[in-house]
């Protein structure tokens, strides 16, 4: 039986007829709550395992609200901020005592217009808004050691404000904790480049246990321990607000309070929406990767494409969606003209070093003043970002025999990244059958990033 799938390709689609037995990897959107504003307000007024926000937010207290940057999709920030700020002011906190910190980590900083879109014009114009810069030493305070033994340098407002409120969205996050979390934001997106580098280290992120199960993911455990260390250094608890949205953007659930209690509840809610069971693992994965996903410009170059493929493979429970030695089939332009300077630097370093292990030894060489300036000006991610994506992709390079890319126009580092450009479906299928035989069990997920993302659970 032939399965017809449509994979995104630039601004259009590629139609593929897959002549193999297939398994669908997909989720359907759940129904959101009827009164999202009421749910948010109730969460703030009746938090889990901590005092109500009105008791914590007293007149004269300096309050820092931490929100995620462009790396986390969705318009939830404006809605939560509107209600949260109202609750703070009702409790006696003055507008001038509130600072918003946009947690960008090593990701690209938002422009002024993007920032207004993230938090709303009224908030942008009425409150102090700080965009985190992982290279700005004046923003950092040393609060001790990370769980990995290195220096823990965090944003000054996080360390020194009287009340810190961490607002985050729970959604699949691949190797980096299984689910996105407020604890992840604190460890990676509000620290110095030197501190964040400890968690992105190849020896940490290449661990196969860093997958889609947040309860067992060792990185998530490190994030939680880091949050505990920060609370201990501050001498007071952090206040977490976390929400889960449906795949079509409606609010599914929201809770506030202490980290462990909030995330235990939110992970269970997120499982309802994002976990998909398939009866068996495949040998071939056919997955759609749009030009732009919440991971960034995912189909613009070979490194970014592999980053998206890695996210898909490592978002699993029990075991990856395809067996070791399997193949991935996708479509992407990978136009050399679209690659950013920081990605170009990373790929050329990979070609020169010959392996990801070789890149690690030369990691600091990419921190060139010109590339750092591009990050500080909000034009590109930090120059370490594509390297850290490569470190996480070491798992994929070990697990997958090859990624066949229909329509790929770049051969930069293709050999090192196990990317095989293909002009036509017939050519791609010949490669599949030469390696896997005539009828490989095929998992198809053409809308993985447009109607997902998804955590795969075998069995």
Interval 172-211: pLDDT, tens: 999 999 999 999 999 999 999 999 999 999 999 999 999 9
Query: Residue 1 pLDDT > 80, yes or no?
Result: no
237-264 pLDDT, tens digit per residue, is 999 999 999 999 999 999 999 999 999 9
For residue 159, what is the DSSP state? H
For 363-367, what is the mean pLDDT? Answer: 96
For 331-346, what is the mean pLDDT? Answer: 88
Torsion of CA 152, 155, 156, 157, to 10 degrees: -130
User: Could you give the CA distance from residue 176 to residue 131 in angstroms, rounded to a whole number?
Assistant: 22
Whether the CB-CB separation of 168 and 240 falls below 8 Å is answered with yes
User: Could you give the CA distance from residue 28 to residue 136 in angstroms, rounded to a whole number?
Assistant: 43
Q: Which domains does the chain have, with CATH numbers?
A: 3-28+279-458 (3.90.226.30), 36-274 (3.40.50.11440)
Q: What is the pLDDT of residue 272?
A: 98
Phi, psi angle pair for 338, to nearest 5°:
-95, -5
* Token digits of residue 23: 């398994």
User: Could you give the CA distance from residue 218 to residue 213 in angstroms, rounded to a whole number?
Assistant: 10
- The whole-model pTM stands at 0.95
Instruction: Give, for 284, the enclosing helix (H) or strand (E).
Output: strand 282-287
Confidence label for 292 from pLDDT (cuts 50, 70 and 90):
confident
92-104 pLDDT, tens digit per residue, is 999 999 999 999 9
Query: Residue 337 pLDDT > 80, yes or no?
Result: no
User: Could you give the CA distance from residue 163 to residue 313 in angstroms, rounded to a whole number?
Assistant: 38
Q: What is the pLDDT of residue 400?
A: 98
Terminal alpha carbon distance of the chain: 23
421-435 pLDDT, tens digit per residue, is 999 999 999 999 999
Whether the CB-CB separation of 237 and 50 falls below 8 Å is answered with yes
Confidence label for 310 from pLDDT (cuts 50, 70 and 90):
very high
């Amino acid at each position: 039986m032939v399965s017809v799938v449509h994979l995104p390709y630039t601004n259009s689609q590629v139609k593929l007829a897959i002549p193999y037995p297939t398994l669908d990897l997909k989720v359907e959107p759940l129904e959101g709550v009827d009164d999202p504003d009421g749910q948010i307000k109730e969460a703030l007024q009746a938090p889990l395992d901590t005092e109500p926000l009105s008791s914590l937010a007293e007149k004269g207290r300096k309050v820092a609200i931490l929100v995620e940057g462009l790396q986390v999709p969705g318009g939830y920030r404006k809605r939560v901020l509107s209600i949260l700020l109202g609750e703070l002011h009702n409790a006696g906190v003055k507008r001038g005592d509130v600072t918003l910190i946009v947690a960008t980590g090593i990701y690209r900083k938002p422009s002024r217009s993007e920032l207004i879109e993230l938090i709303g014009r009224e908030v942008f114009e009425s409150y102090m808004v700080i965009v985190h810069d992982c290279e700005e030493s004046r923003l950092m305070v040393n609060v001790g050691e990370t769980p990995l033994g290195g220096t823990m340098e965090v944003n000054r407002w996080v360390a020194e404000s009287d009340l810190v409120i961490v607002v985050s969205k729970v959604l699949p996050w691949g190797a980096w904790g299984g689910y996105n979390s407020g604890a992840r934001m604190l460890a990676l997106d509000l620290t110095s480049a030197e501190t964040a580098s400890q968690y992105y280290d190849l020896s940490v992120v290449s661990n196969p246990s860093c997958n889609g199960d947040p309860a067992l993911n060792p990185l998530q455990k490190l994030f939680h321990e880091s949050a505990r260390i920060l609370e201990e250094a501050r001498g007071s608890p952090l206040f977490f607000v976390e929400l889960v949205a449906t795949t079509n953007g409606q609010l599914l659930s929201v809770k506030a309070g202490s980290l462990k209690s909030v995330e235990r509840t939110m992970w269970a809610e997120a499982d309802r929406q994002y976990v998909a069971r398939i009866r068996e693992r495949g040998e071939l994965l056919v997955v759609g990767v749009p030009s732009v996903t919440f991971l960034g410009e995912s189909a613009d170059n070979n490194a970014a494409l592999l980053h998206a493929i890695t996210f898909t493979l490592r978002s699993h429970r029990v075991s990856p969606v395809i067996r070791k030695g399997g193949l991935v089939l996708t479509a992407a332009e990978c136009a050399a003209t679209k690659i950013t300077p920081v990605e170009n630097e990373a790929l050329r370093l990979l070609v020169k070093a010959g392996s990801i292990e070789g890149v690690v030894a030369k990691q600091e060489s990419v921190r060139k003043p010109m590339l750092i300036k591009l990050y500080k000006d909000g034009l590109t991610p930090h120059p370490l970002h594509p390297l850290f994506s490569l470190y996480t992709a070491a798992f994929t390079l070990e697990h997958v025999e090859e990624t066949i890319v229909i329509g790929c126009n770049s051969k930069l580092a293709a050999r090192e990244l196990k990317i095989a450009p293909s002009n036509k479906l017939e050519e791609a299928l010949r490669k599949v059958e030469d390696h896997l035989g005539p009828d490989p069990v095929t998992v198809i997920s053409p809308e993985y990033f447009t109607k997902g993302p998804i955590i795969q659970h075998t069995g």
